[in-house]
Amino acid sequence: MRNVRRRTAALGAVALVCSLAFASVALAALPGAPSLVSPKGGAHLRPGRITLVVHDTNVIKGFHEFVQISKHRKLNKFGNLADCNAVSKGCDFVELKPRKGHPGQWTYTSHFSFPGYWAVTPGTYYWQADHIDCSVTGADSCHVTSKIGSFHVG
């Protein structure tokens, strides 16, 4: 009888952990969440000028789109890429601008070339876009985030 109770409790705990994990992933799939356009998932890019493109028609007027770039797929407690802007650690946080002639698209082109900068240093990088919208229910601290993408430099 004790083993049955322990198994039931263990299964309940596993179910709870799984539901919380899926809930954090679901936040990235909220209606109105940004979507990563380019580079496509797993793309291999030459070091140099790399252009990031995000599609997002739900950015509130006067606000912008942002992208977190990281060499590590470390996540915060909400299931998003952990905040990091230490270029020496292979990460960056950039602000995108509206793409001219493409409503709903946002773009950023790398322009630095110093050693260690993500666009010129070989490796796999993870990226995630977000915008601020506190009216979205279920969003973490008003951040509405895309799924996490990846690309390879080198």
Higher pLDDT, 99 or 78: 99
Give the torsion through C-alpha atoms of 87, 92, 98, 104, to 10 deg.
150
Distance CA 133, CA 110 (A): 26
What's the token pair of residue 90?
A: 């292979």
Stretch (H or E) spanning 147:
none
CB 139 within 8 A of CB 133: yes
User: Domain range spanning residue 63?
Assistant: 2-153
Of 63, 38, 55, 58, nearest in space to 151 by CA = 38
Q: What is the pLDDT of residues 99-149, one digit of tens each?
A: 999 999 999 999 998 888 999 999 999 999 999 888 765 555 688 999 999
CB 59 within 8 A of CB 131: yes
Q: What is the pLDDT of residues 25-50, one digit of tens each?
A: 434 455 689 999 999 989 999 999 99
Distance CA 29, CA 141 (A): 16
Domains contained in the chain, number: 1
Distance CA 20, CA 36 (A): 24
Residue 52, domain CATH = 2.60.40.10
Q: What is the pLDDT of residues 83-98, one digit of tens each?
A: 888 888 889 999 999 9
124 DSSP β-pair partners = 152
Indicate whether this model's pTM tops 0.85: no
